[in-house]
Amino acid sequence: MSARGRGENQLERLSLHFLASHLWFWVLLLVPSIAVAFWAYYRVLAPLERPARWILWILRGLAFSLVVFALWQPVLTAVTHDTGRPGLAVLMDRSASMSLPVGGVTPGLTRAAAADATIRRVRSRLGDRYRLDWYDFAETLRPASPDSARPPAGPTALGAALEQALARADARPVAGVVLVTDGVSTSGRDPVRVAAASVVPVFAVVVGAPRPLTDAEVRSVRTNPTAFAGEPLPVRAVISTWGLGGTMARLDVREGDRLLATREVRLLSGSGVEQEVPLEVRLTTPGTVLLDVSLTAQCDSIPRNDRRRVAVEVLERKTRVLVLAGRLDWDYAFLRRTLAADTTLSYTFLVQERPGDYRVQGDPVLRRPPQSAADLRDFAAVVLVGYDEHGVPAVVTDAIARFVRSGGGLFLLGGPARSGGWASTGLLAGVLPGTVDRDPFPQSRALPVSVTLDGQRHSATAVSDNPAETARRWAALPPLARTGGGLIPAAEARVLLEYSGPRGLAAPALAVSFTDQGKAAWLYGRGAWRWAFLPAGTPSPDDLYAQFLLGLVRWLAEPAVRERFQVDPGKRVYQDGESVRFTAGLWNEAYAPVSGARVRVEIRPDSGVAPPRSIELPAGVEPGRYEGADAALAPGAWSWEATAGNPTDGRELSRAHGRFWVESMGPEFARTVPDREALAQVAARSGGTLFEAEGVDALVDAIPRAIRRQGRVREWDLWNHWLLFVSFVVVLSAEWFLRRRRGLA
């Protein structure tokens, strides 16, 4: 067999370069070194014949030259190329979007089946001319066989797959990459940037029809996270359609097998046009209820995205919140308007029109400020607003303090402007998350706020699932008027918002804390109502002021169950392909945070089909907090059980359990058209070409013109190589042997 048939390497280029700085100095040093070697034997008085003298002179000069050569730090570089068949890496997309129909003249064919047919043609046309390295990918890349196709599942990390394939090519060089995919990338790095850095061309083979299929999609479902048994719950479904304009569809809301609401909908014309459909349901059983919202339309080619799920917590009766206002001002007006529009809680408003004279608005459960904790037994939280220097009577603050310690919630908006005020005396001082001290920025009466790392994770201030988006939205708000002092957080308090002061300094603006069985929050400032008005040119689809205020009040109204081990699965309903994230908090008997524990969460499917999975939650930034994530799970209902163990002896400290769901809808089914534009850029930026799945013949013709043989580069540090040392020893040994033969010392 010839060398080409055996795939041997052939030397292409050999080069020598030096790493030493000031190389000219070491080059000049070689001349006196050789001169010294010549002088040593020129001056010797021993009787030496001319040939022997010249041999000894050469050996010593060669030894000196080897030393100087090593000081030059020489590096030998050899470039070889494979004389056998060039290699091609073939990447096959096995993500969930490949289960969608391919469209066109074969409506029953999936993209995965069309990709398999394309792969078979690639192997038959290219297998005898190229060495084919097979891989498949979804969220990660793995070696595969063209005959062992795994079912489509998981998100598409196209950029990561390309990057990993190119990294593997370092050990097994390839001349190009053949990418068989629909181009829909839903996670990981940008594939265009990865392709731009590729040293080999990428030949993209797109699978799927170029035109959108007829489709009706339930894009999102909006409803209150909390409902009340027997009371109406509004549900709004946002649907979008392609090619089904003017046709009728049916939208259903179910709880298990029970139909709760249905509505006939005439779909709008256009491509991707959204329409909102309102419905109303009544839930009767307290507990967590999973609502299934589904759309049924004729000629719908993609039923996978016709169904969305949302979890609702059903309570027996509405939770009541008391709002005490010291005066009528804009803060109270906007707070009352926002809270009164909330149907999930029942509010009683007591506003002071004259000293000691209060007017009742809303639910008239209480007609005067509370005089004892018994007056607040029907309430879950109290909001204090509009009380500055005059404050609240001591009997009222003492009643509120006892209410908080027994499990209630307290939100103070504003407060005294100086230390030693009513908020720092009496029983109330023991439940608030801080005290008032001197003003750290006396020259700045209004300052913008920013969200802290704790605030990016807290349910009241985390206004977006994306921490960067949360920080951006808070930074875009108008400044908050400061009351004149400075808020000093208590030791156990967490600061969620802070003032962005001059010279990069910061001061707390919003702090929260637990006290005995209750919770408290203090927003130390005025003018939060301006947050309802975003600056001009600031895009935001939601009202951040209402989102923040309702989130904070609901958090305070929830029972502060002081379980010493609390675990949160992040969401009650995850999308298909979305990573599951858990957070946990662990406290000891004195409710001090416990660090260094081993926290493990075991996840099991309710159906019992998939094997259980375990997640180790490493310690978070905050003491006693643990956070961890797992890869995407299959759609369905999942149960979890968490355990906290002692790190020294493994003894179990506590245990918790719960449920969550993964719906069948996900990012893989939000875009139903292959992304030809992205694949065209991937091919162009890498020097390759974009082909249709039917164009394998054109692909075979284009590859030889585009690929170039990739040389394998090897380097040897000669100055640190054993061969140089052996040469030096051999030369000196030969000189010493000849000197001894000639009778020289």
CATH code of the domain containing 650: 2.60.40.1930
The confidence score (pLDDT) of residue 6 equals 38
- Report whether pLDDT(466) > 90: no
If asked whether residues 97 and 183 sit together in one domain, one would say yes
Give the chain's end-to-end CA distance (angstroms, integer).
Answer: 59
Mean pLDDT value across the chain: 84
Q: What percent of the chain has pLDDT over 90?
A: 37
Q: Is 583 inside a domain boundary? A: yes
If asked whether residues 224 and 356 sit together in one domain, one would say no
Average pLDDT over residues 620-644: 88
Which CATH number is 95's domain given?
3.40.50.410
Q: What are phi and psi of 178, to 5 degrees?
A: -105, 120
Q: Is 270 inside a domain boundary? A: yes
If asked whether residues 441 and 588 sit together in one domain, one would say no
Overall residue count recorded for the chain in this entry = 745
Q: Is 349 inside a domain boundary? A: yes
38-47 b/e with 16+ CB inside 10 Å = b?
eeebeeeeee
Each as own residue / partner, the long-range contacts of residues 619-625 (CB below 8 Å, 24 or more positions apart, any chain) are 619/595, 620/583, 621/453, 622/454, 622/494, 622/593, 623/593, 623/595, 624/585, 624/586, 624/587, 624/592, 624/593, 624/594, 624/595, 625/583, 625/584, 625/585, 625/593
Q: What are phi and psi of 612, to 5 degrees?
A: -65, 155
The rounded distance, in Å, linking the Cα atoms of 266 and 272 is 15
Contact between 712 and 172 under an 8 Å Cβ cutoff? The reply is no
The rounded distance, in Å, linking the Cα atoms of 477 and 540 is 11
Two structure tokens written together for 569: 């699965």
- Report whether pLDDT(309) > 60: yes
Give me the residue label for tokens 């009513």.
422
The confidence score (pLDDT) of residue 334 equals 93
Last residue of a domain, one of 534, 557, 580: 557
Two structure tokens written together for 157: 């990390």
DSSP-assigned states of every residue in 665-733? --GGGT--S--HHHHHHHHHHHT--EEETT-HHHHHHHHHHH--PPPEEEEEEGGG-HHHHHHHHHHHH
pLDDT tier, 10 (very low <50, low <70, confident <90, very high otherwise): low
Contact between 242 and 331 under an 8 Å Cβ cutoff? The reply is no
Residues 658-692 have pLDDT tens digits of 999 999 898 888 888 899 999 999 999 998 899 98
Sign of CA dihedral 373, 378, 380, 384: negative
The number of beta carbons lying within 10 Å of the beta carbon of residue 320 is: 19
The confidence score (pLDDT) of residue 501 equals 87
Query: For residue 107, what are the domain limits?
Result: 87-210+673-708
The confidence score (pLDDT) of residue 708 equals 64
Q: What are phi and psi of 727, to 5 degrees?
A: -60, -45
The rounded distance, in Å, linking the Cα atoms of 200 and 369 is 76
- Report whether pLDDT(297) > 60: yes
Give me the residue label for tokens 């299934």.
292
If asked whether residues 442 and 548 sit together in one domain, one would say yes
pLDDT tier, 37 (very low <50, low <70, confident <90, very high otherwise): low
Average pLDDT over residues 23-47: 66
If asked whether residues 366 and 442 sit together in one domain, one would say yes
DSSP-assigned states of every residue in 401-418? HHHHHTT-EEEEES--SS
The number of beta carbons lying within 10 Å of the beta carbon of residue 455 is: 25
Q: Is 4 inside a domain boundary? A: no
Contact between 580 and 629 under an 8 Å Cβ cutoff? The reply is yes
Residue (of 109, 21, 117) closest to 695 by Cα position: 117
Q: Which residues pair with 362 in a beta bridge?
A: 348
Residues 328-360 have pLDDT tens digits of 999 999 999 999 988 778 899 999 988 888 999
Q: Is 6 inside a domain boundary? A: no
Rg of the chain over Cα atoms, rounded to whole angstroms, equals 37
pTM (2 decimals)?
A: 0.63
- Report whether pLDDT(578) > 50: yes
The rounded distance, in Å, linking the Cα atoms of 242 and 255 is 28
Which CATH number is 278's domain given?
2.60.40.150
Q: Is 239 inside a domain boundary? A: yes
The confidence score (pLDDT) of residue 561 equals 54
**Percent helix / strand / coil, the chain, rounded to 5:** 25, 35, 40
Instruction: Flag the least confident range among 43-52, 259-268, 272-281, 536-545.
Output: 536-545
Residues 73-92 have pLDDT tens digits of 888 887 666 556 788 899 99
- Report whether pLDDT(745) > 60: no
The confidence score (pLDDT) of residue 106 equals 64
Q: Is 1 inside a domain boundary? A: no
Last residue of a domain, one of 292, 315, 338: 315
Residue type, 371: Q
pLDDT tier, 537 (very low <50, low <70, confident <90, very high otherwise): very low
DSSP-assigned states of every residue in 200-266? S-EEEEE-S-SSPPPEEEEEEEEE-SEEETTSEEEEEEEEEEES-TT-EEEEEEEETTEEEEEEEEE
Q: What's the domain count of the chain? A: 5
If asked whether residues 327 and 376 sit together in one domain, one would say yes
pLDDT tier, 536 (very low <50, low <70, confident <90, very high otherwise): very low
If asked whether residues 281 and 418 sit together in one domain, one would say no
Last residue of a domain, one of 315, 337, 363: 315
Residue type, 411: F
- Report whether pLDDT(15) > 90: no
- Report whether pLDDT(184) > 70: yes
Residue type, 581: R
Residue (of 337, 293, 336) closest to 312 by Cα position: 293
If asked whether residues 305 and 354 sit together in one domain, one would say no
Residue type, 658: G
Rounded to 5°, the CA angle 298-304-308 comes to 100
Q: Are strands 131-137 and 87-93 parallel, antiparallel or unpaired?
A: parallel
pLDDT tier, 7 (very low <50, low <70, confident <90, very high otherwise): very low
If asked whether residues 416 and 308 sit together in one domain, one would say no
Residues 476-524 have pLDDT tens digits of 898 999 878 899 999 889 999 999 988 888 999 999 998 878 899 999 9
Report CA-CA distances (Å) from 299 to 108, 296, 385, 492. Answer: 13, 10, 56, 59
If asked whether residues 56 and 160 sit together in one domain, one would say no
The confidence score (pLDDT) of residue 9 equals 54
Q: Is 396 inside a domain boundary? A: yes
Two structure tokens written together for 238: 């946002």
The rounded distance, in Å, linking the Cα atoms of 503 and 109 is 63
Contact between 321 and 232 under an 8 Å Cβ cutoff? The reply is no
pLDDT tier, 228 (very low <50, low <70, confident <90, very high otherwise): confident
Average pLDDT over residues 544-573: 86
Residues 407-440 have pLDDT tens digits of 899 999 998 888 877 887 888 989 999 999 888 8
If asked whether residues 426 and 448 sit together in one domain, one would say yes
The rounded distance, in Å, linking the Cα atoms of 485 and 489 is 13
Residue type, 625: R
Rounded to 5°, the CA angle 483-463-671 comes to 160
Half-sphere exposure of 467 (CA within 13 A, CB side): 8
Contact between 645 and 626 under an 8 Å Cβ cutoff? The reply is no
SS3 assignment, position 495? strand
pLDDT tier, 538 (very low <50, low <70, confident <90, very high otherwise): very low
Q: Are strands 652-662 and 573-574 parallel, antiparallel or unpaired?
A: parallel
If asked whether residues 503 and 357 sit together in one domain, one would say yes
The confidence score (pLDDT) of residue 540 equals 45
Residue 504: which region, alpha, beta or left (left: phi > 0; alpha: psi -120 to 50)? Answer: left
